[in-house]
């Protein structure tokens, strides 16, 4: 059980979470530097992308050690732990689960050794859609499993199942077999690797240190460790970095389809994606929203923090005063205390509170990033009315979310998506707003300054750029059934500890006492 941080949970009702972020990955090759510390700070900058678990793998050239646990980065690691992780190459991961449950066994980086003695650690941002197919290959190859039920472990097993090949050569064999979204950082005893799927769905950037290289999910993680941005890792590219320098190999032809929702919500505002600053894009989305859905009002307010840039843009374009109407509890984070029914009824009030003097007697435009189930917007509209707002006009800086994501963002199921069953006026009535306006898909795309053909828009228009498997061989818990059957037949296992993992010659991962 991870240590609680005493902070309120971002998802007050675990049965009704909002859109959950993709994972964050970080890798560094830097002889002479404290690579574990650099990775810790990089993960800290990427914490918004995953809050379920965190882990770091490090190598000094003689072996790879992984330290991981459930919880936030600052909960999992302390100074003595980081001081024990010595080496010149490291990778790190901040997880939100998209395949496999939120268990310690599924925390990353994953670890595996080959019979030839090479050790592989791997961290993954994204989600594969041919997981069941990969599971069959692992079984056919007779690879011993380790209790994990995620797609990342399958990739690590497949890389390690080719002991006659170098890790780089094995990757060039395995990567073309993968379907879905993946931005990988992985390593062996001496080399840092990075790879991005041919569609480049999830971001991955390359940076330069004075004495090394860095790879990270977002440019903000490069900034925090003092690395300069070199370029994005290209779709379909494998990069290897060692004492001989940097090597780049294409394992597939690029067909760019970057995630459009990164611009709306996932990425940090100070990140840059495909040359476009995310904050600037969100401000532009707000301006477009004002042009498409004007209204007579007295005050524009954001739902902090994700609605702030678009609210600024809406106010600038509409020339309506921008101000604060909702205060966010600065200690909203994750907790490991399940909320009671009483706390669920309090709901959003634990996260946000209205500034009554600012909203009383005014016509309010409230700007948010998206509507999934509508619970948050419904509670906010009610709060603002109770605080004395005369009118509440809701503006959303993304189109209606009508389709689930299978490429690394955990939305609600399609049946639970509010926009899937209601038209615009039905949604307006459901949340209790006077008016409701979503930015158009074309307006959102224009704000990214990317061509429509280079973006994945599946959650908005249902056009999935990567073919999905037939039947039910997809989903977050596609591998859990096998795990449950194994667990049912096995004796009771002891609870895990946070001892580091080391790989054994048999290929299994064991905890070091």
Distance CA 91, CA 230 (A): 19
Known binding-site residue numbers for Mg(2+): 306, 368-369
Which residue among 23, 174, 216, 310 is the active-site one? 23
Distance CA 440, CA 302 (A): 19
The pLDDT profile of the chain, 513 residues, written as one tens digit per residue, is: 344 443 444 444 444 545 545 689 999 999 999 999 999 999 999 999 988 899 999 999 999 999 999 888 999 999 999 999 999 999 999 977 554 455 667 788 999 998 888 999 999 999 999 988 999 998 888 877 766 667 888 999 999 999 899 999 999 999 999 999 999 999 999 999 999 999 999 999 999 999 999 999 999 999 999 999 999 999 999 999 999 999 999 999 999 999 999 999 999 999 999 999 999 999 999 999 999 999 999 999 999 988 999 999 999 999 999 999 999 887 765 444 445 555 655 667 778 899 999 999 999 999 999 998 888 899 999 999 999 999 999 999 999 999 999 998 877 678 878 998 899 999 999 999 999 999 999 999 999 999 999 999 999 999 999 999 876 445 444 444 433 333 333 334 334 444 565 543 344 454 444
Cα dihedral across residues 372, 376, 379, 384: positive or negative: negative
Label residue 208 exposed, middle or buried (CB < 10 Å: 0-12, 13-18, 19+): middle
Is 488 an annotated catalytic residue? no
Known binding-site residue numbers: 259, 306, 368-369, 405, 456, 459
Label residue 195 exposed, middle or buried (CB < 10 Å: 0-12, 13-18, 19+): buried
Known binding-site residue numbers for [4Fe-4S] cluster: 259, 405, 456, 459
Q: Closest by alpha carbon to 510, among 51, 112, 13, 126?
A: 112
Distance CA 422, CA 102 (A): 32
Q: Closest by alpha carbon to 257, among 151, 126, 152, 150?
A: 126
Q: Which two tokens stand for residue 358?
A: 């600012």
Task: Please state the pTM of the whole predicted model.
Answer: 0.86
Q: How far is CA 456 from the centre of its chain?
A: 16
C-alpha distances out from residue 152 to 54, 59, 95, 278, 491, Å: 14, 20, 11, 28, 26
To the nearest 10°, the Cα dihedral for 268, 272, 276, 280?
40
Distance CA 183, CA 48 (A): 17
């Amino acid at each position: 059980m991870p240590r609680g941080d005493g902070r309120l949970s971002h998802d007050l009702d675990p049965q009704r979470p909002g859109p959950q972020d993709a994972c964050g990955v970080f890798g560094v090759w830097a002889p002479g530097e404290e690579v574990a510390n650099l990775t810790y700070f990089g993960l800290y900058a990427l914490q918004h992308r995953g809050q379920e678990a965190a882990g770091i793998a490090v190598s000094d050239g003689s072996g790879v050690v992984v330290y991981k646990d459930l919880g936030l980065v600052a909960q999992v690691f302390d100074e003595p732990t980081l001081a024990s992780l010595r080496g010149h190459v490291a990778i790190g991961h901040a997880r939100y689960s998209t395949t496999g449950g939120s268990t310690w066994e599924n925390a990353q980086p994953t670890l595996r050794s080959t019979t030839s003695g090479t050790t592989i650690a791997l961290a993954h941002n994204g989600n594969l859609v041919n997981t069941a197919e990969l599971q069959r290959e692992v079984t056919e190859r007779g690879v011993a499993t380790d209790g994990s039920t995620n797609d990342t472990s399958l990739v690590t097993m497949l890389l390690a199942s080719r002991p006659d090949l170098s890790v780089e050569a094995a990757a060039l064999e395995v990567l073309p077999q993968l379907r879905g979204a993946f931005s990988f950082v992985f390593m062996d005893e001496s080399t840092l690797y990075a790879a991005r799927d041919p569609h480049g769905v999830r971001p991955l950037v390359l940076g330069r240190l004075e004495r090394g290289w860095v790879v990270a999910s977002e440019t903000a993680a490069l900034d925090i460790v003092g690395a300069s941005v070199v370029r994005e890792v290209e779709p379909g590219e494998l990069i290897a970095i060692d004492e001989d320098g940097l090597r780049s190999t294409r394992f597939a032809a690029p067909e760019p389809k970057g995630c459009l929702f990164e611009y709306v919500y996932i990425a940090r505002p100070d990140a840059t994606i495909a040359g476009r600053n995310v904050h600037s894009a969100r401000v532009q989305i707000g301006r477009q929203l004002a042009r498409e859905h004007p209204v007579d009002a007295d005050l524009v307010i954001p739902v902090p923090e994700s609605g702030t840039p678009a609210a600024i843009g809406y106010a600038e374009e509409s020339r309506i005063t921008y101000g604060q109407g909702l205060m966010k509890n600065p200690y909203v984070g994750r907790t490991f205390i399940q909320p009671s029914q009483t706390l669920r009824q309090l709901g959003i009030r634990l996260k946000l509170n209205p500034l009554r003097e600012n909203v009383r007697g005014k016509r309010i435009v409230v700007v948010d990033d998206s509507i999934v189930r509508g619970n948050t917007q419904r509670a906010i509209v009610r709060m603002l009315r109770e605080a004395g707002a005369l009118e509440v006009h809701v503006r959303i800086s993304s189109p209606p979310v009508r389709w689930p994501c299978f490429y690394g963002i955990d939305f609600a199921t399609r049946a639970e998506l509010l926009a899937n069953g209601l038209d615009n006026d039905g949604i307006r009535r459901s949340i209790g707003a006077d008016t409701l306006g979503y930015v158009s898909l074309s307006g959102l795309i224009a704000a990214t300054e990317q061509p429509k053909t280079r973006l994945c828009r599946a959650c908005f228009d249902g056009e999935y750029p990567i073919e999905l498997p037939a039947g039910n061989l997809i989903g977050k818990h596609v591998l859990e059934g096998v795990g449950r059957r194994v667990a049912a037949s096995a004796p009771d296992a002891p609870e895990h500890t946070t001892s580091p993992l080391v790989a054994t010659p048999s290929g299994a991962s064991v905890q070091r006492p």
